[in-house]
Structure 1
Amino acid sequence: MKQSNDWISFSQTMNDVKPMTQDKVINKHNSLEQQKKLKRLNAIKAESQDDNTLTTEFVEPIDPYDYLSFKRDGVQEGVYRKLRLGKYPIDAQLNLHRLTLSEARIEVFQFIKDCYQHNVRTLLIIHGIGQHSKPYPALLKSHINHWLPTLNTVLAMHTAQKHHGGYGATYVLIRKSADKKRENRERHSKRFV
């Protein structure tokens, strides 16, 4: 009888207590996979919303020891030769070592854009040779080779001389901004008056 009195007493004491809701058990592995998936979706969404025209899609791979070379129509041969031989002073440089392809894409686009806006003409982009990059050798170098000619502000590019990084770096010549062109026209027109 004592046991039933204890039960009644316990029941009366606990009468106003409500059961707790069960917290969901989180499987760490699934949670990490969900986070990775969400991160990828956010990166794709961010890439589609920005004005960056460079792509991280597959590009034709090149050999780590290939020369990069590009010149737009209208660039004088002497100007290109001087760029190719590293005879222009380097006004700015960008080092892409240890960056992912997505990070490099953003950095290259912003760097070229900033240099154009600030009338910086001769650049050096250090990308490395990429002998051990995955999924194929020279991954970043291959993308640099693809990206730079697609940017309208880039007039020419060429693999750097050995003392500037050789196969692991590229000289880039940027077109003059509209302000710089106007300034040059005014300066030259005063000379002939």
Structure 2
Amino acid sequence: MNKALNHEGLEAFQELVKGVKPLTQDKQHFGTPLPAKVVRQELAPKLAVQHYFSDTFQPLLPSDGPMRWRAEHADKQELKRLRRGDYPPDLILDLHGMRQTEAKLELAALLEACIREQCQCCCVMHGYGTGILKQQLPLWLAQHPKVKAFHQAPKEWGGDAALLVLVDIGDQPFRR
């Protein structure tokens, strides 16, 4: 009996769709698949390094005294507060033993993390060593648009083997 009902239903369906023409698909859309979120997060610092940090750019930095720099749009008092240690660093990056390419990637990741985590100040420890990172780090930091200022760190944060960096995180209502 079940087969008889099924057969009648099939005939009724065929009667209903007797004059219908099937649609032809004339276009195929094959987009490139988007990378997973984890892959995009891993690639973000590498893209930032290529976009922001150049080894040929030479900003105007002081030749005497402690290493310091302030962006044109930043307040002069910000650099003074940074020098005095009014901004304790929320994140600390230790670049000891890294090559320049590795240090660039880590620096870009640190700045992205500061922006994402709403950290206004961070400390980058470059160490003494041969002085390559000590020389290159200010050149890279001066190129990043979100860096407001940096100054040689006070003794408690590394002294002349580290820099305190002030990051522009925007005017967020939950800003520290």
Which interval holds the TM-score relative to the shorter structure?
0.5 to 0.7
Q: CA deviation at 1:59?
A: 6.8
- In structure 2, what is the equivalent of residue 149 of structure 1? 142
Whole-Å Cα distance in 1 between the matches of residues 47 and 73 of structure 2?
A: 30
CA contact (8 A) 1:56 1:101 kept: no
CA contact (8 A) 2:95 2:125 kept: yes
Q: CA deviation at 1:164?
A: 1.4
Q: CA deviation at 1:93?
A: 0.6
Whole-Å Cα distance in 2 between the matches of residues 155 and 93 of structure 1?
A: 17
CA RMSD of aligned residues (A): 3.0
Relative to the length of structure 2, the TM-score reads 0.63
Q: Which residue of 46, 50, 65 corresponds with 2:47?
A: 50
Change (3 A) 1:57 1:77: closer
Whole-Å Cα distance in 1 between the matches of residues 102 and 141 of structure 2?
A: 16
CA contact (8 A) 2:78 2:149 kept: no
1:147-186 aligned within 5 A: 147-177=140-170, 181-183=171-173
Q: CA deviation at 1:68?
A: 1.4
- In structure 1, what is the equivalent of residue 110 of structure 2? 111
1:165 alignment partner AA: G
1:72 alignment partner AA: A
Secondary structure in 2 aligned to 1:99? Answer: coil
Unaligned runs of 5+ in 1: 1-45, 186-193
- In structure 2, what is the equivalent of residue 41 of structure 1? none
CA contact (8 A) 1:128 1:141 kept: yes
Output one character per residue of 1:25-59: Cα deviation in whole Å (capped at 9) or x when no partner. Answer: xxxxxxxxxxxxxxxxxxxxx9xx83423245697
Q: CA deviation at 1:167?
A: 0.8
2:47 alignment partner AA: D
Q: CA deviation at 1:183?
A: 2.3
1:119-138 aligned within 5 A: 119-130=118-129, 133=130, 138=131
> How many residues get paired?
128
- In structure 1, what is the equivalent of residue 99 of structure 2? 100
Whole-Å Cα distance in 1 between the matches of residues 149 and 89 of structure 2?
A: 14
Whole-Å Cα distance in 2 between the matches of residues 118 and 148 of structure 1?
A: 19
CA contact (8 A) 2:48 2:108 kept: no
CA contact (8 A) 2:83 2:151 kept: yes
CA contact (8 A) 1:55 1:105 kept: no
User: How high is the sequence identity, in percent, across the aligned residues?
Assistant: 25
Q: CA deviation at 1:82?
A: 1.1
Unaligned runs of 5+ in 2: 1-42
Whole-Å Cα distance in 1 between the matches of residues 53 and 76 of structure 2?
A: 27
Whole-Å Cα distance in 2 between the matches of residues 102 and 83 of structure 1?
A: 27
1:183 alignment partner AA: P
Change (3 A) 1:112 1:175: same
